[in-house]
Amino acid sequence: MAPPRTGRAADALAAAAVTVALAAAPDERARDDTRPSGPPSRTPLLAVVVLLAVLAASSFAVRSWALPVVLLLGAEAALVLVAARWSRPASASTAVLVLVVAGLLIPARPVSGGPQGDVLVLGEVVVAFSVLLAWTAGSSVRARDAYRTALQQQETAAAVAAERLRIARELHDVVAHSIGVIAIQAGVGSRVLDSRPEEARKALDAIEGTSREALRGLRRTLGTLREGDGTAAYAPVPGLRDLADLVGTARSTGLGVELEAHGLEQGLPAEVDLAAYRILQEALTNVARHSGGGTCRVRVEVALRRVLLEVRDPGPALAGREAGGYGLVGMQERVSALGGTLVAGPEGAGWCVRAELPVGRP
């Protein structure tokens, strides 16, 4: 014998009342704060509560199945939104409450014709399946949004890391080259200060010029950081048009540089122009710091589709040369970013750096 309708309706109303109390209580732990839009709205949860309360009340006044089915479908639609916007424990609890309320009310509905037990069991199964389907659909939406958010965060982190690497590489190229030249000139000046004051003065002048160049480079890099869009610059970005000045700086350290350049009058994309300059700058700095021969040969060829850079140090290398450092790593990163090739290694008693950069012309 089926339990009285009033008793089951009262149980359903009690369950709905508990749901109302849980929804009204501020429970920040149930919120899914990982979603980019912030804390979820309570509206879908309150909609579930209201629809369940109306569903329970309709058991007293309405004998037709039409209204309860519509109300249950509405509650399941709201459950989809709850599962999509709230954390898994909160949405699962809401799904269980929908099952409890619907399970208590189905036996309280009158059944006309047929075995009442079979119809009620079938109704319970259909309701359980539909509630599970609604919860699964909402959870799938939530999982998809979480994946999309995680992917965006990874892309942002990768962009930040790439920008940090670019800044570190640029600062290394500016500071390491300048400090290396300054250290060499300071050593020369200290050795000839008493015997050849004029040479010492030239060394000090070279230190001053290199220091000013380094400051301009630092201001340009820091200016770009302040703007954030890469447009700010206190000085023009260096390129192969500054090759003569670069070679002159290297020669001021006492290094004999033989330059062979072809095609410098051709315009280059800004990123290729800067990369070529930085590669030559780093290679010359390494020769000045580590070569014992005092001479090197620089070859630059700018063609229609490529730029060839070559710095040969006949050697021999100074004793105690460091094997590590970021110079070669920075050169390799610049070349790789442009899709070029870099070969750097011993050649006879000396060292050779050879880079080839593609030029993407229309």
Domains of the chain, CATH where assigned = 5-153 (no CATH), 239-362 (3.30.565.10)
Label residue 194 exposed, middle or buried (CB < 10 Å: 0-12, 13-18, 19+).
exposed
The pLDDT tens digits for 188-231 are 777 777 778 887 777 787 777 777 777 776 776 666 555 554 44
The pLDDT tens digits for 293-346 are 788 999 999 988 899 999 999 878 776 555 455 678 778 888 888 889 999 888
Whole-angstrom distance between the N-terminal and C-terminal Cα of the chain? 86
Tokens of 200: 């010492």
The pLDDT tens digits for 152-187 are 888 888 777 776 776 677 666 667 667 777 777 777
Is pLDDT above 50 for 20? no
Q: Which percentage of the chain shows pLDDT scores above 90?
A: 10
The pLDDT tens digits for 254-270 are 888 999 999 888 888 88
